[in-house]
Structure 1
Amino acid sequence: MTSLVGPHSVAPAPGAQEMAAIAAIAHAEAGIVIAPGKTSMVQSRLAKRLRALSLQDYASYIALVESAEGAEERRRMISSLTTNVSHFFREAHHFELLREKTLPPLISRLRRGGRARIWSAGCSTGQEAYSIAMTMLDMAPDVATQDFRILATDIDPVVIVTGRTAVFESTACETIPPNLRQKFLEPVPGGMRIAAAARRLVSFRELNLHGAWPMKGRFDAIFCRNVVIYFDAQSQRKLWPRFAAALLPDGWLFVGHSERVPTVPAMGFETVGITTYRLATAKT
């Protein structure tokens, strides 16, 4: 029988068997790798869920998550275990390359009546997607009226809500270049809000990278930075060719500073810069 506790009780730390079960669920659901030595991390991140459900131990929590009725709680569990760290204009060299090489041909295409799409995969609270939007609008304000969109996806529904709200603490906005802060931020209670022109370019969606991708069109560029580092090698190997298939010819892939696409040509890419790739058929 499920054991119940009060709202302020603390469940004992998960044992080795419970850690193995939690790790197996996280891996099957989202490709996340949790090492056996991460007991304290798991306990600190899931303790709130146990208290919210008035569960006394992790065995009861695992039983719920594995049950037919536990689908929603599985989503909440993955949300709790996911690391959501993001900064505006993180890894500045990517945004320099974006300005110099990626966006100019897209702007030309848009002005000829074409379309352009960029995907921020594993977008967290949206700083990456809004950094792309601000960069594009700074270069070509007229794209606001053209067929340009940024898709921002994350497995965590909580950060998606923050992204759509587009309100960030003032300190979080300090990494935005001063000229862009002046153009694209507006003060609101609780911090700063991204201006409407940039907000309109970004669409947020909940998406599990290891599940089905419902997007029908392909992308000119994909940013997936500091995401696959949490996946095991097998999950990564499956993901790179899917990104390649989701890109248009000459499409760009930007990954995190600790990430590399292995056996690049076999995965469909060639290296064109620091943690930057293009489809192997691209001419650079």
Structure 2
Amino acid sequence: MITITEKEFNQLARYIKDNYGINLKEEKKILLIGRLHTVLAEHNLESFSQYYQYLIGDRTGKAAITLINKITTNHTYFMRENNHFHYMRENVLPSLANTIKDRDLRIWCAGCASGEEAYTIAMILDEFCQREKLCWDKKLLATDISENVLSMAISGIYSKEQVSPLPDRWKKEYLKKYDEDNFVFIDKIKDEIVYRKFNLMDSIFPFKKKFHVIFCRNVMIYFDNDTKDKLICKFYDNMEYGGYLFIGHSESLNGGLGGFKYIMPSVYRKE
């Protein structure tokens, strides 16, 4: 297997941080080699210096797509950090029901990975709107930088093991058999989610309207403090007053909340 020099690692790590915000530390060298060695072999590249030149010289964008698909972890599962979904159902949605007057509820799952979070929120919304007899336009925006996981999310297909943490009532109402080992979400739920490829490092977020709720969980653990603080400011600017931000349990806003008010661990509000 081709090894990587200190200079080559720093060069590639800088490219990844500048373009995707991911902060690769020294201990990630072996991981980087392991995930990219097949790419070097496929293109007959003999060093990571050659790979870097191939990467920056590729005008098709395919090399960058392959890179981000290789280096992102995208680990998630249904009902992860479940207290967030409970707070969403019991506190956030009743609050928004009293403040949203135009039926236009806007929620963004930033870093949605393979879709478990977005589908969970869609089911919570459907259940809440049925119970409260609300007629919200409640489409969710779900974005990720990896095309691989977005294709998985769009399919809405999950194994028996993957959907096992879901409540039985949801499995009965919102899932149907896909084949012997897998289930798929019904169109009613799939159609509530708009999936898009999106880079959180883009300098301008091109959204016409602001969001009432943003989920960005277990994404910023890969960013350094400066990158994270800039992203939090962009979230603030793209959120309605009274809106909620959910981040991962292992994440924080560094003491500087960027204008957000602390509600509970990993939940903040724009006031």
Q: Per the alignment, in what secondary structure is the counterpart of residue 263 of structure 2?
A: strand
* 70, 75, 91: which one aligns with 1:85: 75
Separation in 2, partners of 1:179, 1:130: 14
* 107, 115, 119: which one aligns with 1:126: 115
Unpaired runs of 5+ residues, structure 1, are: 1-10
Is 1:62 the counterpart of 2:45 in the alignment? Answer: no
Unpaired runs of 5+ residues, structure 2, are: none
TM-score normalised by L of structure 2? 0.92
Q: How does 1:95-134 map to 2 (within 5 A)?
A: 95-107=85-97, 113-134=102-123
Q: Per the alignment, in what secondary structure is the counterpart of residue 49 of structure 1?
A: helix
Separation in 2, partners of 1:144, 1:162: 30
Note closer, same or farther for the CA distance 1:54–1:141 as it changes in structure 2 (3 Å cut): farther
How far did residue 243 of structure 1 move?
0.5
Contact 1:89 1:175 in 2 (8 A): yes
Aligned counterpart, 1:235: 227
How far did residue 57 of structure 1 move?
2.6
How far did residue 135 of structure 1 move?
0.9
Separation in 1, partners of 2:111, 2:73: 10
How far did residue 88 of structure 1 move?
1.2
Q: Per the alignment, in what secondary structure is the counterpart of residue 38 of structure 1?
A: helix
Contact 1:88 1:127 in 2 (8 A): yes
* 175, 199, 207: which one aligns with 1:208: 199
Aligned-residue RMSD, C-alpha: 1.9
Residue by residue over 1:103-148, the C-alpha shift from the partner in whole angstroms, topping out at 9 and shown as x without a partner, is: 12444667x6521011000000110000100111122238896411
Aligned counterpart, 1:5: none
Separation in 2, partners of 1:274, 1:198: 29
How far did residue 16 of structure 1 move?
1.6
* 115, 130, 142: which one aligns with 1:141: 130
TM-score normalised by L of structure 1? 0.88
Aligned counterpart, 1:160: 150
Residue by residue over 1:174-215, the C-alpha shift from the partner in whole angstroms, topping out at 9 and shown as x without a partner, is: 121222111111111351111211111100000000113222
Aligned counterpart, 1:18: 8
Aligned counterpart, 1:221: 213
Separation in 1, partners of 2:226, 2:109: 22
Contact 1:22 1:62 in 2 (8 A): yes
